[in-house]
Amino acid sequence: MLLILVLIIVIFLVAESSLLKSINGKTKVGTLSLSPIGAGTWSWGNRLLWQYDVNNDDELKETFDYLSRNRLINWFDTGDSYGTGDLNGRSEKLLGDFSVNDKNQNNYYFATKLACYPWRIGPNSMIKAAKESIDRMNRPIDILQLHWPPSLQWQEREYLQAFCYLVKEGYAKQIGVSNYGPKGLKRVNDIVKKEGLQIYSNQVQFSLLSRYPLYNGLTDYCKQENIQPIGYSALSLGLLADKYTLDNLPKGPRSLLFKDFLPPIDPLLKVMRELAKKKNKKVSQIALNWSLQKGFLVLVGIRTIEQAKENTDASGWKLTDSEVALLDKVAESIPKQIIQNSFQSD
């Protein structure tokens, strides 16, 4: 009888643990537990591609407050190069300004990426850059990331030594990178390991129209080393949001990309529309959920409350294996994938 009672308690605890994991839906990344979807803030300061205007700041603040208040996500991703010229560091500064008096500020994390500018020479240059980011964000860095692999590995080791120092001294909690392929990721992870630390995340371009990480060995290496892959541009700059046509193109340089890609991806969009109708979801949510089913955390731009609602509702449910396989098959039939970010390494 006692044995049966013990078994019942064990089963209950396991079930409760599974239920809590399902409810919370977070993924352990290093010392942090991250929501499946994070808020990307590239557009918070980018005029060329996203037509940023300082007059939009009130709307961005409302969106930030909505995400914070409703705890729809628990991490925001930024970079010290998001906003240049007179908007230098704009995205980081907006996050800092928005969060400084927020009573919920302990419920979310800030991840920032430091640019590998060629004039940043030696560890001290990155230490200085990190401290400037901290000043703009009004808080230590939760995930400190190298934005891209330096050309010819210029100063790469020195940058990472600076990152290790910053973590050890409490300026940052943990280290991540961005735009690294499997070979480069192994190289930089080995450098960090020699300092007694580890890289815990790697941001790469990933979507139904950019599936290279599934084939080049990156996901295998990440799994082996307990590195969490994070997919950015999960909607392929908006192509997979199904909100544009050849007669209704986005403003700016994206219009050229959309003219080229909208016709050939129509078969994929048709299947996504069918799945969206079946699931009572939006096409964009189908695209984001596909990325989640591939083991990636998803980074997606959020500028409005409407986008906040739509993008965060891409988690908390699952496409079936057969639905994922169907999307894989149709995506593979598309004659070309989105060109990879030129900063990405092998």
Instruction: Answer whether residue 249 is part of any domain.
Output: no
Instruction: Answer whether residue 4 is part of any domain.
Output: no
User: What pTM, to 2 d.p., does this model score?
Assistant: 0.90
Which residues span the domain enclosing 214?
33-238+295-315
Q: What is the CATH number of the domain that holds 166?
A: 3.20.20.100
Q: How far is CA 34 from CA 174, 223, 238, 297, in A?
A: 13, 17, 24, 8
Instruction: Answer whether residue 115 is part of any domain.
Output: yes
Q: How far is CA 221 from CA 15, 147, 209, 289, in A?
A: 31, 19, 22, 22
Instruction: Answer whether residue 2 is part of any domain.
Output: no
The catalytic residue positions are: 82
327 φ/ψ angles, rounded to the nearest 5 degrees: -60, -40
DSSP letters spanning 81-128: TSS-GGGTTHHHHHHHHHHTT-TTGGG-EEEEEE---TT--SHHHHHH
Q: What is the largest CA-CA distance in the chain?
A: 74
Instruction: Answer whether residue 276 is part of any domain.
Output: no
Residue ranges in 206-303 assigned as alpha helix (H): 218-225, 254-261, 266-279, 283-293
Identify the H or E element spanning 310.
Answer: helix 305-312
Distance CA 75, CA 253 (A): 28
pLDDT tens figures, 284-323: 999 999 999 999 999 999 999 999 999 999 999 999 999 9
Instruction: Answer whether residue 84 is part of any domain.
Output: yes
What pLDDT tens digit does each residue of the chain (346 aa) get? Answer: 444 333 333 333 333 333 333 335 899 999 999 999 999 999 999 988 888 999 999 999 999 999 999 999 999 999 999 998 889 999 999 999 999 999 999 999 999 999 999 999 999 999 999 999 999 999 999 999 999 999 999 999 999 999 999 999 999 999 999 999 999 999 999 999 999 999 999 999 999 999 999 999 999 999 999 999 999 999 999 999 999 999 999 888 889 989 999 999 999 999 999 999 999 999 999 999 999 999 999 999 999 999 999 999 999 999 999 999 999 999 999 987 887 666 666 7
Distance CA 316, CA 138 (A): 32
Q: Quote the number of domains for the chain.
A: 1
Instruction: Answer whether residue 176 is part of any domain.
Output: yes
Given phi > 0 = left and psi -120 to 50 = alpha, else beta, which region is 153? left
Instruction: Answer whether residue 99 is part of any domain.
Output: yes
